[in-house]
Chain A
Amino acid sequence: MPYAVYLILFFPFLGFVLNALLPLNNRVVSLVGPGSVLLAFVSAAYSFNWLHGRPDTPLGRSYDAVFTRWALAGPFHLNVGFLLDPLSSLMTLIITGVGFLILVYSTGYMRGEDGYRRFFAQMDLFILAMLILVLADNYIWLLIGWAGVGLTSYLLIGYYFLRPSAVAAARKAFVMNVIGDWGMMIAIFMMFVLFGGVDFNTVFTKVHVQPYDGLIPTVLALFLLVGAVAKSAQIPLYTWLPDAMEGPTPVSALIHAATMVTAGVYLIARSYPIYQQSPFALHVVAFIGCAGVVFAATMGLANNDIKRVLAYSTMSQIAYMFCGVGVAVYSAGMFHLLEHAFFKALLFMGAGAVMHALGDELDIQKMGGLRHKLPFVYWTFLVGVLAIIGTPLFSGFFSKEDVIGAVFGRAQSGDGWDWLVWALLVIGAGLTAIYMFRLFFLVFHGDPRDRELYDHAHGPGWSMKAPMLVLSVLAVIGGYIAFPGQYNLLDAFLSPVFARWPHNGPAIVAQPFSLASMLATLLLTLVGFLVAYAIYYRRNPAPQRVGSLAPAVYRLLYHRYYVDEIYDAAFVWTTRTFYRLTDRFFEEDTLDNIVDGFGVVTRLAGGWLRGAQTGFVRNYALGILFGAVLIVGYYVIGGR
């Protein structure tokens, strides 16, 4: 029954309403929050299974559930409609599956926090918005979900709203995401004007008629990309993501690692008929991706905040996904998205467990030697690290290999630029190994650098351990849905989506396996591991000593390339100065008086007209007579 797609949305909605409106106690909230998402997962799994049983054709594998016709304006109409196809089905499984595990984890992690119910209400709302985003069958509802996840992200980053840094971080994330929303809206306006509709089918059918590499598909794709870049924290709109770590750790795991930040990748994959019409836009996506891989990884090298290192790693991994979709091998990007959801959620859960053990300490320079105190966290974190750096036979290996192999394949037949992308991705793999093992060694190996913190460390409870265990298993075996050069189940599953609408771009096929590319990646990963091992294993070097190897570079990385400062000077300062000037010289003296003047005059008129309201029946009757005389007089005099 295809209506299960409504249930996927209904359960988180119900969870949100119950948690938000009813004064439930914390035990009920712990049941309603994860329970509603579990039911959504069951519905998503059911829908997946139903879809899988349908004929393996582009139309057979897509079902458009129209809930109701919504907005009507002349010939234009818009449905509240949900598109169930392999792409959206995969996303719903990730969102509800990983979401459920993280909410279970949250019941342990958030225990005893103020606003426990608020937390779960907002998490349910987030999952609802995210599901709307991926299930929408038109760009307006996609944008509604898009803005919804932006809102809930804002609310949850600012969860500790008494902490000024959390409020500032929330605001920053919101402003940057609104820049992205603006880009999306411009793109949607263009679709409306050009194609007369904003539902996927109309847009994708009509965009094909636009000339290949023409201006219109390129502009459309680039405006959509503004949205994707802001939401997925890619260059240049990424500075909000490290700050977003001010939110509770489950929020970082769910929103700022596993689901919301990957929405940009989903958007590009979903809009493939537009991107396929514009090789230029695809190149931009790939370049943003490969630059981001290295850029974010280097910033991760010198950071001392356990969650921010993971945030930069998230940015770097999403950049890999961008490269996958940027070379028009969309299934590779989606594959890495899937695996990343497993191992990054796991890593964040590990980081959360460490923080939990150390009384919310974030500075890795104060940690060390925790493998004795937290053996469970140690082993699961190790699985996550091995997965993310692409150790063979761990999940990250398969998906990263899929992306890098796809770029390699395209480069062989491409215009030369793809080689640059490929090279940066391979270098990025090496850097990933360095910063992840640096983090791992500094936290779990060596001697404790803060004895007091170490002594008070305590392990997590079962509600936190169980989801971590499930995710570690998935972080190992999740990748076996594809094996380089042998089979790729995900590509086969997704292929009907990418065959549905016509396009003139490069053929959307998985690229042939290349041993050379794989060996190069593995070699650099090994080198990265050895560098980290040599510097950080057992030795506890002070950051100053590591920095002194290359002082200028270290300072640049430590200050994150001064990008925040540059943005402040270029945008925040100029805007602020501009509004101060206009406020002083234009607003106060001129506008205020004009606006107030209108108000005063209108109110005066109201007071004057009220004078006619004497309360005497004779006056009222006179008013009626006056009107009647005017009207009848008009007809008598011949106003017909």
Chain B
Amino acid sequence: MMLVVSVPLHVTLADWGSILPELVVTGGFLVLLLADAFIPVRRTEVATGIALLTILLAFLAAMNLWSHGMAASLYDTVSSDKFAVFFDFVILVSAALTALLSPSYIRYSHFDPGEFYALILASAVGMMFMAAAISLMVIFIALELLSLALYILSGFERSRPESQEAGFKYFLLSSFASAFLVYGMAMVYGATGTTRILQIATCLGHGAGCSAAASASPLLYIGVGLMLVGFAFKVSIVPFHMWTPDVYQGAPTPVTAFMSVTTKAAVFAAFIRVFNFALAPIESHWYGVVWALAIVTMVVGNIVALVQTSMKRLLAYSGIAHAGYILVALAADNALGQTSVAFYFLAYAFMNIGAFVVVAVMESQEGPVGDEIASYRGLFYRNPSLAGATAVFMFSLAGFPLTAGFVAKYLAFSAAVQAHHTDLAIIGVLTSLISIYYYLRVVYVMLRRPEVPGVQSPPTPAAADLAAWIAVAGTIGLGIIPTGFLNLATQSVTAIRYIFGLP
């Protein structure tokens, strides 16, 4: 059978415009690499400034794209629909917060600032492409691009063996998982004859453009299973999660902060495009597996978090648990579920990076023990504003009302209820109940009287302080007045559903 695919013969200016945010960040990446060699003084400040400027320009480009996006461009490989742009916002906001929390850590660990930010930006390009990809091939390339930069970043602290170990572990295991993903993609291609998401959906939905047997082919289902493994690894779904605590703990804290939010956001964006749109016609065939993965992830993530003594490992398990909640929303496979995923990552960007800002500040003030939860003892007396911010993030991660975390979790679970998956919602609520223990334990420890009374912490570095305040404002703002941002998320989902002909 001949496959006839219509391809435009040349790339127009509009095509380039549709990836302008990615191009801007790529430009920033190149400038940083070059400039790194020529910055004579105040290297950290200048490099941070260039990174922030790049992010700001990319943000403006993304805002422009919000109303001028194209459903498909560059030979139908990337889309600049509002869904992609929304995730661009999330990734750029996270990158900006990371850039603000990094300088003190860069000085503390003697990093090369230009190289560090260049890699952050390179990884951000991969993430943005991943969120925009509408072809399995581009998804894979973007994933490799973002991962390669993150491998290096995880091992960036060369003087510390844990960091090197983290980088290497991440590299090995991630490559292993990527193999599953690409193999799965190949099989899906084999079954449907296309790698384009829209065409996979049409093929499986109406049997159009491919052989009628495609949706009955065992190739397809094995491919779906293998892709699931690949995606699940990247977003730390149990049992593919085991790298997460080791890498989160070993990697430099700003890197952990960045990757914990953005990797998940980018991969979940692609995850949704593939599973909720391309594979929507065979939802009944993947729902069971996703259902089981979500439950195991929520249970294991929350239970193991109970016994952690390191703040970064605690946040790693918390991240696993949150991946479980988000998977619940993905499993709902409805508009509300997709909206809630989008909103979830906006909320997560503020509360989770906020929590890592605290870790970074603690580490730069107290050395490696700053990662121990025990070292938070008496923080309310030593540094009330930092402790107050920590409390806000913990309450939000636990999902207390009036915080972003509550709204996000509420939306995710109500999507599950709307899709008649009440069991997932109930398990989600019960496991969040467990999570309250370990989140509030941090608050409790901070409130305990310090062992040495009367000692004040050194002042928080200005940039990190700003990052913490922005994160607090975002966490509380999204919790009290979620409406405006929820509207954006709804619009982004409406846009992508429109492309696929869904209401």
Tell me the chain B residues, 205-261 only, with Cβ under 8 Å from chain A: 218, 221-222, 224-226, 228-229, 232-233, 239-240, 242-243, 245-246
Contact B225 A602 (CB under 8 A): no
> Would you call B304 an interface residue if the criterion is a C-beta within 8 Å of the partner chain's C-beta atoms?
yes
> Would you call B74 an interface residue if the criterion is a C-beta within 8 Å of the partner chain's C-beta atoms?
no
Chain A interface secondary structure, helix, strand, loop or mixed?
A: helix
> Would you call A567 an interface residue if the criterion is a C-beta within 8 Å of the partner chain's C-beta atoms?
no
Q: For A68, list chain B residues within 8 Å (CB).
A: 481, 483-484
Q: For A416, list chain B residues within 8 Å (CB).
A: none
Q: For B180, list chain A residues within 8 Å (CB).
A: 624, 628
Q: For A617, list chain B residues within 8 Å (CB).
A: 169, 172-173
> Would you call B68 an interface residue if the criterion is a C-beta within 8 Å of the partner chain's C-beta atoms?
no
> Would you call B285 an interface residue if the criterion is a C-beta within 8 Å of the partner chain's C-beta atoms?
yes
Tell me which of A70, A606, A624, A634 contacts B303 (CB under 8 A): A606
Tell me which of B221, B222, B246, B307 contacts A607 (CB under 8 A): B307
Beta-carbon nearest neighbor of B224 in chain A: A635
Contact B304 A628 (CB under 8 A): no
Contact A70 B483 (CB under 8 A): yes
B291-308: contact bitstring with A at CB < 8 Å (1 yes, 0 no)?
A: 000000000100111110
Given A72-B483, A617-B169, A631 and B243 contact (CB-CB distance below 8 Å) = no
Tell me which of A72, A603, A613, A624 contacts B177 (CB under 8 A): A624
Closest beta carbon of chain A to B425's beta carbon, Å: 15
Most chain B CB neighbours (cut-off 10 Å) among A603, A615, A634, A640: A640
Closest beta carbon of chain A to B185's beta carbon, Å: 14
Beta-carbon nearest neighbor of B487 in chain A: A69
Closest beta carbon of chain B to A27's beta carbon, Å: 25
> Would you call B486 an interface residue if the criterion is a C-beta within 8 Å of the partner chain's C-beta atoms?
yes
> Would you call A610 an interface residue if the criterion is a C-beta within 8 Å of the partner chain's C-beta atoms?
yes
Closest beta carbon of chain A to B295's beta carbon, Å: 14
Q: For A375, list chain B residues within 8 Å (CB).
A: none
Contact B243 A620 (CB under 8 A): yes
Given A605-B303, A609-B303, A635-B225, A72 and B486 contact (CB-CB distance below 8 Å) = yes
Contact A80 B289 (CB under 8 A): no
Beta-carbon nearest neighbor of A611 in chain B: B304
Contact B289 A634 (CB under 8 A): yes
> Would you call A623 an interface residue if the criterion is a C-beta within 8 Å of the partner chain's C-beta atoms?
yes
Q: For A634, list chain B residues within 8 Å (CB).
A: 225, 288-289
Given A68-B481, A615-B246, A621-B173, A631 and B289 contact (CB-CB distance below 8 Å) = yes
Beta-carbon nearest neighbor of B434 in chain A: A602
Give the CA-CA distance A617 to B165 in the complex, in Å. 10
Q: For A603, list chain B residues within 8 Å (CB).
A: 306-307
Tell me the chain A residues, 60-99 only, with Cβ under 8 Å from chain B: 68-70, 72-73, 80
> Would you call B498 an interface residue if the criterion is a C-beta within 8 Å of the partner chain's C-beta atoms?
no
Interface size class of B (residues with CB under 8 A): 35 or more
Q: For A613, list chain B residues within 8 Å (CB).
A: 242, 245-246, 304
Give the CA-CA distance A621 to B218 in the complex, in Å. 26
> Would you call B176 an interface residue if the criterion is a C-beta within 8 Å of the partner chain's C-beta atoms?
yes
Give the CA-CA distance A73 to B300 in the complex, in Å. 31
Contact A627 B240 (CB under 8 A): yes
Give the CA-CA distance A639 to B287 in the complex, in Å. 11
Give the CA-CA distance A423 to B176 in the complex, in Å. 91
A573-612: contact bitstring with B at CB < 8 Å (1 yes, 0 no)?
A: 0000000000000000000000000010011011101101
Beta-carbon nearest neighbor of B284 in chain A: A640
Contact B233 A624 (CB under 8 A): yes
Tell me which of A80, A624, A627, A636 contacts B222 (CB under 8 A): A636
Tell me which of B173, B221, B304 contacts A620 (CB under 8 A): B173
> Would you call A569 an interface residue if the criterion is a C-beta within 8 Å of the partner chain's C-beta atoms?
no
Closest beta carbon of chain B to A138's beta carbon, Å: 15
Tell me which of A69, A615, A631, A636 contacts B229 (CB under 8 A): A631
Given A602-B306, A617-B173, A635 and B222 contact (CB-CB distance below 8 Å) = yes
Contact B222 A632 (CB under 8 A): yes
Q: For B242, list chain A residues within 8 Å (CB).
A: 612-613, 619-620, 623-624
Contact A624 B304 (CB under 8 A): no
Given A609-B303, A635-B218, A624 and B173 contact (CB-CB distance below 8 Å) = yes
**What is the interface size of chain A, counting residues whose CB is below 8 A from a CB of the partner?**
33
Q: For A80, list chain B residues within 8 Å (CB).
A: 481
Give the CA-CA distance A615 to B239 in the complex, in Å. 15
Beta-carbon nearest neighbor of A628 in chain B: B229
Contact B486 A70 (CB under 8 A): no
Q: For A639, list chain B residues within 8 Å (CB).
A: 288
Tell me which of B285, B307, B481, B486 contacts A606 (CB under 8 A): B307
Q: For B282, list chain A residues within 8 Å (CB).
A: 640
Given A613-B245, A631-B229, A624 and B300 contact (CB-CB distance below 8 Å) = no
Closest beta carbon of chain B to A612's beta carbon, Å: 7
Q: For B229, list chain A residues within 8 Å (CB).
A: 624, 627-628, 631
Beta-carbon nearest neighbor of B233 in chain A: A624
Contact A631 B481 (CB under 8 A): no
Tell me the chain B residues, 268-293 only, with Cβ under 8 Å from chain A: 282, 285, 288-289
Closest beta carbon of chain A to B280's beta carbon, Å: 15
Beta-carbon nearest neighbor of B238 in chain A: A627
Contact B239 A632 (CB under 8 A): no
Q: For B239, list chain A residues within 8 Å (CB).
A: 623-624, 626-627
Q: For A623, list chain B residues within 8 Å (CB).
A: 239-240, 242
Q: For B228, list chain A residues within 8 Å (CB).
A: 631
Q: For A631, list chain B residues within 8 Å (CB).
A: 225-226, 228-229, 289
Closest beta carbon of chain A to B142's beta carbon, Å: 21
Give the CA-CA distance A613 to B169 in the complex, in Å. 13
Give the CA-CA distance A615 to B173 in the complex, in Å. 12
Q: For B222, list chain A residues within 8 Å (CB).
A: 632, 635-636
Contact B483 A69 (CB under 8 A): yes
Give the CA-CA distance A621 to B229 in the complex, in Å. 12
Contact A610 B307 (CB under 8 A): yes
Tell me the chain B residues, 93-152 only, with Cβ under 8 Å from chain A: none
Q: For A627, list chain B residues within 8 Å (CB).
A: 229, 232, 239-240
Contact B245 A624 (CB under 8 A): no
Q: For B243, list chain A residues within 8 Å (CB).
A: 620
Closest beta carbon of chain B to A596's beta carbon, Å: 13
Given A605-B303, A615-B246, A623-B239, A640 and B285 contact (CB-CB distance below 8 Å) = yes
Tell me which of B172, B300, B307, B481 contacts A70 (CB under 8 A): B481
Closest beta carbon of chain A to B249's beta carbon, Å: 11
Q: For A626, list chain B residues within 8 Å (CB).
A: 239
Tell me which of A599, A620, A624, A632 contacts B169 (CB under 8 A): A620
Q: For A621, list chain B residues within 8 Å (CB).
A: 172-173, 176
Closest beta carbon of chain A to B17's beta carbon, Å: 33
Give the CA-CA distance A607 to B173 in the complex, in Å. 24
Give the CA-CA distance A579 to B288 in the complex, in Å. 48
Give the CA-CA distance A640 to B242 in the complex, in Å. 28
Beta-carbon nearest neighbor of B227 in chain A: A631
Given A636-B222, A639-B288, A624 and B240 contact (CB-CB distance below 8 Å) = yes
Give the CA-CA distance A257 to B240 in the complex, in Å. 65
Beta-carbon nearest neighbor of B289 in chain A: A631
Give the CA-CA distance A116 to B211 in the complex, in Å. 80
Q: For A73, list chain B residues within 8 Å (CB).
A: 414
Closest beta carbon of chain B to A144's beta carbon, Å: 11
Can you show 18 pairs from A to B with CB atoms below 8 A apart? A68-B483, A70-B483, A602-B434, A603-B307, A606-B304, A606-B305, A606-B307, A610-B307, A613-B304, A620-B169, A624-B176, A624-B229, A624-B239, A626-B239, A627-B229, A634-B225, A635-B218, A635-B285
Q: Nearest 9 pairs between A and B by C-beta?
A: A635-B221, A606-B306, A620-B242, A606-B307, A631-B225, A627-B239, A628-B229, A632-B225, A606-B303
18 further A-B contacts with Cβ under 8 Å, apart from A70-B483, A617-B173, A624-B173, are A70-B481, A80-B481, A602-B303, A602-B434, A609-B300, A613-B246, A620-B169, A621-B172, A621-B173, A624-B176, A624-B180, A624-B233, A624-B239, A627-B240, A628-B225, A635-B221, A636-B222, A640-B282
Residues of B within 8 A of A (CB): 169, 172-173, 176-177, 180, 218, 221-222, 224-226, 228-229, 232-233, 239-240, 242-243, 245-246, 282, 285, 288-289, 300, 303-307, 414, 434, 437, 481, 483-484, 486
